[in-house]
A = this chain, B = another copy of it.
Amino acid sequence: MASNTRTVRPQTADSSNALGWQPLRGSDSPPLVEQLVQHCQQLLGNHSLRAGTRMPSVRQLADSAGVSRDTVVQAYDRLVALGLLHSRPGAGFFVSTQRRLHAPSTPEMPSLSAGQAFDTPFLLRSMFRSHGQVQFDGSTGLLPQSWMDHDMLNAAVRAVGRSAGMQLLGYGEPQGYAPLRQQISAMLLAQGLQIDPELELMTVTGVTQGMDLILRSTLRAGDAVLVEDPAWFMVFGLLRALGVQVLPVPRLRDGPDLEVLERLARAHRPKLLITNTVVHNPTGFGLSLPVAYDVLRLAEQHNFLILEDDTYADFVPQPMRLATLDRLRRVLLIGGFSKTLAGSLRVGYVAAQPERIRALTDAKLLSGLTSPELGERVVHRILADGQYRKHVQRLRERVDTARQRCLKLVENMGLVVHQEPLAGMFIWADAGRDTEVLARQMAAQGVLLAPGVLFSANQQGSTMLRLPVSIIDSDISLLLNEPRMWLFPLK
């Protein structure tokens, strides 16, 4: 009878060796869960385990391999998450039928045919393509990772994970995490700008979202908008998408060209001026007090609003803002932490009059509810601990030193800087030839540059080039210093 009972047990693999798995047990072996997942992936990959097959039960496999049941459960769970197994309640785990797992393919570098425009979407795609074939990326607006403080950032992430409790579960506040707004208003107050964090401040998912929300709420197709020339290419992309009329105002060392500004304001009744006052991108120019006053006077006379983009403000010790003079009467101020903390956090802010913040918060709700509180808590922690001020000071000193060295390098390369930048991470240099052609040819060699055409309101051909000062820390600086490198594109 006893022997009979044995023969009617369900057919299973020899339970002393289910799946043929022999765990490695050395102290430097991979964790058991990982070993088991990999072993199963192999069996699935070489079709030793076929679709529909029932996997050994958790108990069976645990006993045969001499591991805990928890190890097997965790491994099976991961295989389910990978789509390789599925579970049927009460029946066990089965090999899935459809199991085409895409191997991560290498995204292609965006290519640009000769006839194609070197426009905003193209540059955006290039900025964000895989870096496999790129030796040096001089088109990005971020500092090198090695200049940033990732330890500070990661410690803040862990601290948020320890302290957040249940608070991340909800949607958060549409206006943004209140303690972060408190910290931002304290930071702005120390720089002379007094705002109420409850009424006059909101967070956004990065400066770009802030600009998108303001432009969409303020402008309609056909409206006229004053824009500095040159300016951040994203501005032109956003304005083109809205179908508005762009009125370029030359950017001088002390601010926008007042004569042109007045003439255009008189002739076209613009709704808005978009300006990058403190550390202008791409020139590194600033804003003088008398020009600031005149810009505000013209805004008053001709009744236009001012969008003040403050992205690079932390690269000067005491920024001079239109918002401070104007007390947010006509100015909407945008700032953020991508340049000083981390691009991927996507934490920025808008400061404006209470009724404008209310309208923008409604627009933010409609276009994505709240902004992610996790990143806002990380930034809050770094600001509240008082680490931010010191970090920014160190970063500023490094950028300033690099800029001085880079100015010499650029001169050696035969480029001309017509007016030296006052601050910031860019040098705006004249290459004496069409930089779009240059950029295309350099791109083929894995060196990405930001040619002047991108920063031009009318996308006019240009001999100007925006170079990041971090170039002096890269291997490419040697290459760029080599005159033949610069002769090559002339061929």
Which B residue sits closest to A361, measured CB to CB?
A: B125
Whole-angstrom distance between the Cβ of A103 and the nearest chain B Cβ: 9
Question: What residues on B are CB-neighbors of A196 within 8 Å?
Answer: 102
| Other-chain residue from B81, B344, B373 in contact with A186 (beta carbon distance below 8 A) | B81
Whole-angstrom distance between the Cβ of A153 and the nearest chain B Cβ: 6
Residues of A contacting B: mostly: helix
Query: What string of 1s and 0s marks CB contacts (under 8 Å) between A405-447 and chain B?
Result: 0000000000000000000000000000000000000000000
Contact between A171 and B343, CB atoms less than 8 A apart: yes
| Other-chain residue from B78, B154, B173, B189 in contact with A100 (beta carbon distance below 8 A) | B189
Cβ-based interface call for A281 (8 A): no
Contact between A99 and B189, CB atoms less than 8 A apart: yes
> Which of A171, A371, A375 has its CB near the most chain B CB atoms (within 10 A)?
A171
Which B residue sits closest to A192, measured CB to CB?
A: B98
One of A161-169, A247-255, A465-473 contacting the partner: A161-169
Which B residue sits closest to A378, measured CB to CB?
A: B374
| Other-chain residue from B124, B375, B387 in contact with A366 (beta carbon distance below 8 A) | B124
Cβ-based interface call for A155 (8 A): yes
Cβ-based interface call for A208 (8 A): yes
Cα of A150 to Cα of B170 in the assembled complex, Å: 11
Q: Given that A98-B189, A194-B98 are known contacts, is A238 also in contact with B171, CB under 8 Å in the complex?
A: no
Contact between A102 and B168, CB atoms less than 8 A apart: no
| Other-chain residue from B153, B161, B190, B192 in contact with A80 (beta carbon distance below 8 A) | B190
Question: What residues on B are CB-neighbors of A183 within 8 Å?
Answer: 81-82
| Other-chain residue from B86, B345, B368, B371 in contact with A212 (beta carbon distance below 8 A) | B368
| Other-chain residue from B165, B186, B234 in contact with A83 (beta carbon distance below 8 A) | B186
Cα of A389 to Cα of B189 in the assembled complex, Å: 48
Q: Given that A367-B208, A367-B212 are known contacts, is A161 also in contact with B164, CB under 8 Å in the complex?
A: no
Q: Given that A372-B344, A373-B344 are known contacts, is A190 also in contact with B86, CB under 8 Å in the complex?
A: yes
Which B residue sits closest to A149, measured CB to CB?
A: B169
Contact between A344 and B170, CB atoms less than 8 A apart: yes
Contact between B168 and A386, CB atoms less than 8 A apart: no
Question: What residues on B are CB-neighbors of A338 within 8 Å?
Answer: 171
Whole-angstrom distance between the Cβ of A196 and the nearest chain B Cβ: 6
Contact between A142 and B171, CB atoms less than 8 A apart: yes
Cα of A78 to Cα of B183 in the assembled complex, Å: 10
Cβ-based interface call for A101 (8 A): yes
| Other-chain residue from B77, B107, B140, B343 in contact with A198 (beta carbon distance below 8 A) | B107
Cα of A437 to Cα of B169 in the assembled complex, Å: 31
Whole-angstrom distance between the Cβ of A317 and the nearest chain B Cβ: 9
Query: What string of 1s and 0s marks CB contacts (under 8 Å) between A92-118 and chain B?
Result: 000010111110110100000000000
Question: What residues on B are CB-neighbors of A154 within 8 Å?
Answer: 161-162, 164-165, 168
Cβ-based interface call for A385 (8 A): yes
Cα of A237 to Cα of B363 in the assembled complex, Å: 10
Contact between A124 and B170, CB atoms less than 8 A apart: no
Whole-angstrom distance between the Cβ of A476 and the nearest chain B Cβ: 18
| Other-chain residue from B76, B101, B197, B387 in contact with A77 (beta carbon distance below 8 A) | B387
Contact between B185 and A367, CB atoms less than 8 A apart: no
Cβ-based interface call for A71 (8 A): no
Q: Given that A155-B161, A198-B104, A368-B205 are known contacts, is A386 also in contact with B187, CB under 8 Å in the complex?
A: no
Q: Given that A78-B386, A81-B385 are known contacts, is A182 also in contact with B128, CB under 8 Å in the complex?
A: no
Question: What residues on B are CB-neighbors of A156 within 8 Å?
Answer: 161
Question: What residues on B are CB-neighbors of A79 within 8 Å?
Answer: 386
Query: What string of 1s and 0s marks CB contacts (under 8 Å) between A356-389 and chain B?
Result: 0000001001111111111100100001111111
Additional A-B contacts beyond A105-B198, A128-B174, A154-B161 (15; CB < 8 A)? A83-B190, A120-B366, A121-B365, A124-B174, A125-B362, A125-B365, A150-B169, A159-B161, A169-B342, A169-B343, A208-B367, A208-B369, A212-B368, A343-B369, A344-B372
17 A-B residue pairings within 8 Å (CB atoms) = A81-B187, A81-B385, A81-B386, A96-B189, A102-B197, A124-B365, A128-B174, A142-B169, A148-B166, A150-B164, A157-B168, A205-B368, A209-B368, A237-B366, A238-B366, A345-B372, A374-B374
Smallest CB-CB A-B distances: 8 pairs: A77-B386, A157-B161, A158-B161, A83-B186, A209-B368, A171-B343, A344-B373, A346-B372
